[in-house]
A = this chain, B = another copy of it.
């Protein structure tokens, strides 16, 4: 495993692969990381778009003005000045927060891990969209929680379906620890929860005393610049909000955070200290100064436009090239398109063939805890430039046409 540096999202998939061994999948994706392969698999933001003179200005000022502090240990909750800046980031999506409620974490992923550690006992139930973020499934299942999926459509999670699941599980005498959701530009489906449903979900959380974990990595990357009310803003006492700078600045600084009701926050600070003592002060200072001295909102607007263009390249090429029996989501923002394959195709089985055809994706089963999603695929448009995306879609279309022909031949043979 040593010398292969996989996209961590892809790597997470490899550990959840069914059928194939994890090492086999890792080997496959190691091939997929070769330059001749168009990877529509990863979830890596296009960090090359940042202004590196500005970044260097920030890091230099941090080291020269705050060196001994930046290179020292910090507090378990995170740097107060940074927490105040993260509150400003939340304010850009009209979500009120106080620096006291914020805990800085190693990306959003550590927030999910700490929540799993705090809440999940073996056999507990966590509800989540189907499909859901692979890293969340991994974090909760590491504490032996069981994820039950709830249906979603083009308007996101269906509140009635949440209520049905909840009632059903509670009637069976089991405990639902929380609902995990990515309401905006969901990973992997690309869709956003409608405002009506946000209101319904907030009401449902209050009525059923249901804790909601709202994961919001992509919220600011809306292709129309639209802002939706966060669940945290609608039901603050029932929602733990998870944010990250990974998609609006840099994943390489590993600065995420959560904003939680007081008693939960206190416990999470203690768990954070147990997990790694404290966040890197150096990267916290860098994040604080980036947000405080650089035009970060203009940078977010530039990212938004860049990803919108890439998404459009992907969607238009899909419309032109994919077999007519394919359907897919139309992203409101974020990084991903969710593709449903023609009937009888298996995305996992098709992956090796796709990689031979020099295109990679993540099979849909990675995003389900229950073996569903075999006929589905996550395509990402965040990293490759538009022309490469189009080329990748054409290669995938070719593989799909061959597979469809094969399936039809088999059916004709049977008929």
Contact = CB atoms under 8 A, between A and B. Distances in A.
Contacts of A333: none
Nearest to A143: B117
A64 interface: yes
B252 A74 contact: yes
A250 B282 contact: yes
Contacts of A8: 73-76, 273, 277-278
A249 B67 CA distance: 12
Interface stretch (A51-59, A347-355, A393-401): A51-59
Nearest to A140: B274
Interface residues of A, number: 74
Interface centre among A3, A55, A59, A113 (most CB of B within 10 A): A59
A326 interface: no
A132 interface: no
A106 B282 CA distance: 13
A68 to B, nearest CB: 4
A277 B281 CA distance: 19
A282 B269 contact: no
Contacts of A286: 282
Interface stretch (A42-50, A169-177, A373-381): A42-50
A113 B70 contact: no
Nearest to A116: B274
Interface string A90-112: 00000000011000011101100
A63 B74 contact: no
A12 interface: yes
Contacts of A249: 71
Interface string A257-274: 000000000100111011
B50 A68 contact: yes
Contact of A15 (B71, B107, B135, B270): B270
A386 interface: no
Interface string A279-323: 111110010000000000000000000000000000000000000
Given A59-B60, A77-B1, A275 B72 contact: no
Given A64-B52, A253-B280, A273 B11 contact: yes
Given A8-B273, A60-B56, A71-B251, A2 B80 contact: yes
Contacts of A185: none
A44 B72 contact: yes
Contacts of A5: 74-75, 79-80
Contacts of A139: 274-275
A280 B266 contact: no
Contact of A254 (B63, B99, B107, B276): B276
Contacts of A199: none
13 contacts: A5-B80, A8-B75, A11-B273, A47-B67, A55-B67, A69-B252, A71-B250, A105-B276, A135-B277, A138-B274, A254-B276, A254-B278, A254-B279
Interface of A: 1-9, 11-12, 15, 44-45, 47-48, 50, 52, 55-56, 59-60, 62-64, 67-77, 79-80, 99-100, 105-107, 109-110, 113, 117, 135, 138-139, 142, 246, 249-254, 266, 269-271, 273-283, 286
The 6 closest A-B pairs by CB, nearest first: A5-B75, A71-B250, A2-B100, A106-B276, A252-B281, A71-B252
